[in-house]
Amino acid sequence: MNDDDLRRALALIDERRFAEAIDLAADAATFSPIDYPVLPTEFDDAPSSVARALALQWCLQDQQVVDLLEPVVEATPDQALAWLVLGTAWFWRIGTDDARPGRALECMQRAAELAPEDPFAASGLGLAQAVEGRRKAALVAFERAAALAPDSWLHAQRLAEHLAAAGKTGRAREWAARSTELAAGRSSGWLLLGQLLAETEERAEALECFDRALAIDPSSSEALEGKVELLRQDPDAESQRALVEALRDLLDRLPEHQQHFHDDRWRLLGRAHEALGEEAEARAAFDRAEELATRSLAEQERKEAFRSFWTSIRKGDRAGVDAGLAAAFDLAEHDPTGDRDPVHAAVRSSKGKTAIVDLLIAHGLPVDRPDGTGQTPLMSAASKGYATLVERLLSAGANPSHRDRSGGSALHRAARAG
């Protein structure tokens, strides 16, 4: 959701208009329910604090949810919904500086114990178990969720995805088909079913599913890719014509800076034109493929040098960092392995933190660029208790009031770090 929608939703929450806030957040959501751990909306009997936390969770304010509900579950540990929402918040924190290993699973287990007939509790437990690598137990939980809510497309599709990941293609297809029956207007279900049918070489049925997915969501590159892979296997003229159209559609969607990753697609387009006897079009496609392959090689060399620069930052190698700063890199690019900018990477490195941060600041690099969770280098330094780095960053103009996606600030992290 954009900043305006978020502000409106948070204002509604402050006015205790929780249901309205959830409706607004749901309408403005940029995530798919299938990608989100738990999104219950029934909370009429929930205490005010839990209803507030649920509304905040819909707005992706995970840290606020954690701060609100940890005391609640400690004081009244028999509230299943509180554990469920808290578990969702901790699930969303996995991979961040504030992650608490195993806490999402603990919360989901408690919710499932308190509400054994709640499909969301079962599904949430499954997701937490899957993240912890307990895939067999997770599959049992997803099976239970689907059994508890036999008319829910969400639980059917989630079970299908995890059955597929476990190599149980036949059963995965059954549940994917069930999800499309329950929600024929959702492209993700048709995409999943098409992918499963393609695995078992049921080409005509798979193509139909990909077409259904594209009819619902024309922007689905995954469905288009699936269609291309099937059409390329069929040499007849009708399929080759359809392949040309699908490839043109796919390549037209790619921004110019991503084209060089797809020289193979241009070669495939050239071969399809050749099969149709369209020599001029084939030659143009092959020429484009060669141009992009040359560009791709240069890009690979640039990325290798860029990766070396990041490695130097992490190792505290001043000479390597100096060489990188002297090169013509776009230093606004994030770390290819961690979604961090150079200053952020230096703050989190194991060696030479202060010297490398000083060098980057002296070179004029920005000190407040947030990462994917909204955290700035100052927030990372504060969470680790790096007092010297905090002082350096503040002196360089870092904003101590910046808040991340969960609503936390550098001050919050410093307080938790002690």
- CATH topology of 1-149 equal to that of 330-417? yes
Q: pLDDT below 70 — which residues of the chain?
A: 1-3, 28-47, 97, 260, 328-340, 350-352, 372, 405-406, 412, 414-418
Residue ranges covered by each domain of the chain: 1-149, 330-417
Over residues 209-265, the pLDDT tens digits come to 999 999 998 878 889 889 998 998 888 899 899 999 989 988 888 777 777 678 888
Provide the β-strand partners of residue 403. Answer: 409
Query: Measured between alpha carbons, how far is 160 from 35 in angstroms, rounded to an integer?
Result: 13
Inter-residue contact 284 to 316 (CB < 8 Å): no
Number of helical H runs and strand E runs in the chain: 22, 0
What's the CATH fold of domain 1-149? 1.25.40
Of the candidates 343, 326, 322, the residue with the CA atom closest to the CA atom of residue 334: 343
pLDDT at 40: 54
399 secondary structure, DSSP code: -
Which of these CATH numbers, 1.25.40.20, 2.60.40.3880, 2.40.30.30, 3.30.559.10, describes 330-417?
A: 1.25.40.20
Sign of the torsion angle spanned by Cα atoms 209, 214, 215, 217: positive
Query: Measured between alpha carbons, how far is 391 from 181 in angstroms, rounded to an integer?
Result: 59
pLDDT at 258: 73
Query: Measured between alpha carbons, how far is 324 from 326 in angstroms, rounded to an integer?
Result: 5
pLDDT at 9: 78
pLDDT at 55: 81
